[in-house]
Structures are given as C-alpha cells and as structure tokens.
Amino acid sequence: MSNNNFNYEDLLRCIPPQDIPQPIRESDGAGGTDLGPRDIIRAIENTNMLVPPVTDAGTVPNLTFSFSDTNMTLKPGGWSREITARELPVATTLAGVNMRLTPGGVRELHWHKEVEWSYMLAGRARITAVDENGKNFIADVGPGDIWYFPPGIPHSIQGLEEGCEFLLVFDNGNFSDLDTFTISDWFAHTPKEVLSANFGLPEEAFRDIPKTEKYIYQSTVPGPISEVEPLSPFGTRKFSHSLLGQKPITSPGGSVRVVDSRNFPVSQLISAALVEILPGAMRELHWHPNNDEFQYFLTGQGRMTDYAADGTARTFDVRSGNVGYMPFCYGHYIQNTGTTPLWYLEIFKSPIYQDVSLTQWMALTPPQIVKTNLNVGNEVISSLRKTKWEVVRFPGFEYKEK
C-alpha cells in the first residue's frame, strides 16, 4: 500500500478565495461564476481553457494529456507509464512512454515492431543493441542524449550508478510498451527440449528460466564498458546521438536544436527538435507540412493555440510533464507564460524535420497581396523577416495574464 497521503480538502484550504479562478472573461464580461461542484486545482492548471481567448471557436479535440494522469506499472528495478491513442485519441501517429530505472535496474532484452526513439531526461543509462548483420552497440548515455532503434532490432537499457529516467517515443499511436517481444517471455513459452536443441545444452541448463516476462527487473550496476563489452567480429553500429551537445540555432527568444536523418543517419523514420523558449518569448506562429507533431514538455509552463481551419481554434495550457499533440498542418504557437525557460521536444514521424514560418511566408510574398489580404499597411510589411526566427521575443510584447 502506498504511504503517499494526499488530502484534497487540506490543499484547497491553502488557496485564498481571491485566487480561485472563475469562468469570467475580463475583456468582454462573458461567463459567470462556477458554483460547483468543481475541481479547483484543475481550474488553476488550465486557466486558458476555463477562460478561453475570444479568438477560440468551434470544436477541436483535446490535444494535451499529462503523464501524471496515467497508470503506473511498478516493477522491481523501476517503473513505466505511457500516453497512447487510448489516453489521447488524437495521437494516431506516435505514442510516448516515460520510464525510470533504478541503479542497476534493467529494461530487459527485447524488440518490437515499432521504431524506438528516446530522449534521456535524468541520470545515466547503458544501452545495448545488435543488428541483423551481427554489428553490436554498447554506449553510456546521459541527459540530452537520444537513441534510435529501428523496428526489430533487439536492445536493452540499464540504469547506471544514479539510475535514470527517459522518454520513449514509438511510431504507432496505439503502441503499448507492455506489448513487446521479450527474451524472458519467449524462453518461458518455448519447450525446454527445443531450447536444449537450439543451444546444444542439456535441458537442466534451463531449469531456472523465468516462468513469466520480467519486463523491468533489478540487477547490479555494470562495470565499465571496456570490461564487459563483447567484441563483434562484424564491427559496431551507432544508435545514439548527443542532441543537447549540438550547436543550437539561436534567436532573441531562445534556441532550437534539430535532429533528423541528415545529422543522425540511423534515424530514418523519426525527426525532432529540442526547443528553448525564454520568459516573455514564444515559438513563432508556424505549422509543419509533413506530419503530426508529438510534444513533450520538459520544464516551465506555457500556452498554445492551435488553428484547425474553417473558423476553428482552441487554446491549451501546458507545463512540464505534459504531452501535447498537434495534428498535421494545424497552425500553432507556444508562448512562455512563466518566469523560467520553457523547454520542450517536437517529435515527428518523418525522416526530415520541416516547419513553415508564417512571418517568412508573408515576407517572401509580394507585399500587395499581403496588404490586400489582411487589410494591413506598411508598418506590418516593413516588420517582416525573410530569415526564420523559430523563437521570437520583442520588448513590450510579452504574455500578460488576463
């Protein structure tokens, strides 16, 4: 039984009445008080859904979900939780798994039909893999590192001295990390006489094999790679990359680091960007012309509005630990509404990262078309940049709570 005692009523008593938000918009007086029953904590977390901007309109599916609202799978050696199309139905192309391994904890030897793309959040891990040609790979990874395992490539993950936590992304929205091919499960469902024939050993050698899948289990912290690495006669193959170690693309509002098949060649089906948005800045108005966007928010808080065409738009609040999902070609932005940098990942089921900047599009279109289309003058035209700024910040134009 858990000893994490939490009393909702005690927490509510700590909130001053004037700080309890009401669904009333100051700009036009629309709305009215909520007499309850209500979840006040959720209202505080989602102020832009409680009081949407006047520009929100129409019906848009839910585009955010928190890992804190998911079910934990607890095992000796760590835990996992996932956000798939079951939790977030709009997320049809990609699914996410958040996993923690203790020092020495192992995500057992396994493989799956889907691509596995991962970003290290904390601690250090050892990853291993062997490809179809017998080339092996062993590496120790830390915060900001990524790895990519193609479909069918067997691999494992183990926490090192301080343990580790990471995000896994798979190229199938209906994926479940509990539905993978694992070595313990295969052994448990293979007759011992077959194992004996396969390995050329007596059946007695397999008397203690697991009766069920291990999934995650506790082991000891491994020694240095140089002491434990089996040398393959066929060579090695690289499956990891230092995303945080890349030189960023910087602009006045923050930075972006892009990784795809051009600078991480093994990553043939997944591309991504690590985005930093400084306080008062925003990820510019843009869209992606090649696929849906799976987002994972690492630090900070913000808001985003998605424009879904045909007079439809909706605003969401986002914060660390949230997953966001932006369907193909939806126009959107993300604005830092906090006092610390907002970091998040943009992930796509595509070999090449692509985005289209609204500002750049307008700047490279004949001015007369832009003027007559939007009923704007030279002030707007002269402000347009032909060079893309992924993150923008202008003095005097910062987010202010309404």
pLDDT tens-digit profile of 10-68?
877 888 888 889 999 988 999 999 988 888 888 988 999 999 999 999 999 999 999 99
Enter the pTM of the model. 0.94
Q: Residue 165 has what DSSP assignment?
A: E
pLDDT of residue 401: 67
Contact residues for 258 (Cβ-Cβ < 8 A; gap 6+)? 249, 271, 272, 273, 353
Percent of the chain with pLDDT over 70: 98
Instruction: List pLDDT tens digits, range 175-210.
Output: 999 889 999 999 999 999 999 999 999 999 999 999
Predicted pLDDT of residue 343: 98
Residue 150 has pLDDT above 60, yes or no: yes
Give dist(CA 321, CA 329) in Å, integer. Answer: 24
| Kind plus residue range of the DSSP H or E element containing 379 | helix 378-383
Average pLDDT over residues 118-138: 98
- Quote the pLDDT of residue 40: 87
Q: Residues 398, 280: contact at Cβ < 8 Å?
A: yes
pLDDT band at 304 (very low <50, low <70, confident <90, very high): very high
What backbone torsions phi and psi does residue 373 show, to the nearest 5 degrees? Answer: -70, -40
Ramachandran angles phi, psi of 226, nearest 5°: -60, -25
Give me the chain's average pLDDT, please. 95
70 contacts: CB under 8 Å, gap ≥ 6:
81, 82, 83, 87
Is the omega angle on the peptide bond into residue 37 within 30 degrees of 0, that is, cis?
Answer: yes
342, 299 contact by CB (below 8 A): yes
Q: Where in the sequence numbering do the catalytic residues fall?
A: 346
